[in-house]
Chain A
Amino acid sequence: MLTSFLGACFIISRLYIADIDEKGNNMKIKRNKFKKEIPFHLMLLPGVILTFIFSYVPMAGMKIAFEKFIPAKGLFGDQKWIGFDNFTYLFNMPGAMAALKNTVIIAAWKIVLGLIVPIVVALLLNEVRSSKFRRTVQTAIYLPYFLSWVIFAGVLLDILSPSSGIVGQIIRFFGGKSPFFLGSNKYFKSTLILTDVWKGFGFGTIVYLAAITGIDMNLYEAATMDGAGRLQKMWHITLPGIRMIVILMTVLSLGNVLNAGFDQVQNLISPQVYESGDILDTFIYRIGMIDAQFGPATAMGVLKSVVSCVFISVSYYVSYRFFDYRIF
Chain B
Amino acid sequence: MSEEKNNKKGEKPKKEDEKSGTFNRRDILKGLATIPVFGPFFYALFRKKWLDDQRRKEILAELGIRGETPAVLPKAAVKRRGELIRLGIIGFGGRGEALAHAAGFAHPDWIESKKKDARENRLDKGLETFLNQEDLNVVLTGVCDVFDVRAERGIAVSKNDVRPGGGSGLLKGANRYRHYQELLESKDVDAVIIAAPDHWHAQMTIDAVNAGKHVYCEKCMTRTIDETYKMTEAVKNSGVVFQLGHQGRQQETYVKAKQIVEKNILGKITLVEVTTNRNSPNGAWVYDIHEEGNPQTIDWEQFEGPATHKVPFNLERFFRWRCWFDYGTGLSGDLLSHEYDAINQILELGIPKSAVASGGIYFFQDGRDVPDVFQAVLEYPERDLTLVYSATLANGNSRGKVFMGHDATMEVGYSLSVTADWESTRYKDKIMNKIINTSLPLFTYSPGLKEIDTVTSATERYFMTRGLMYTMRGGRPVNTAHLHIQDWLDCIRNGGQPSCNIDRGFEEAITCHMATLSYLEGRKVVWDPVNKKIV
B partners with A: no
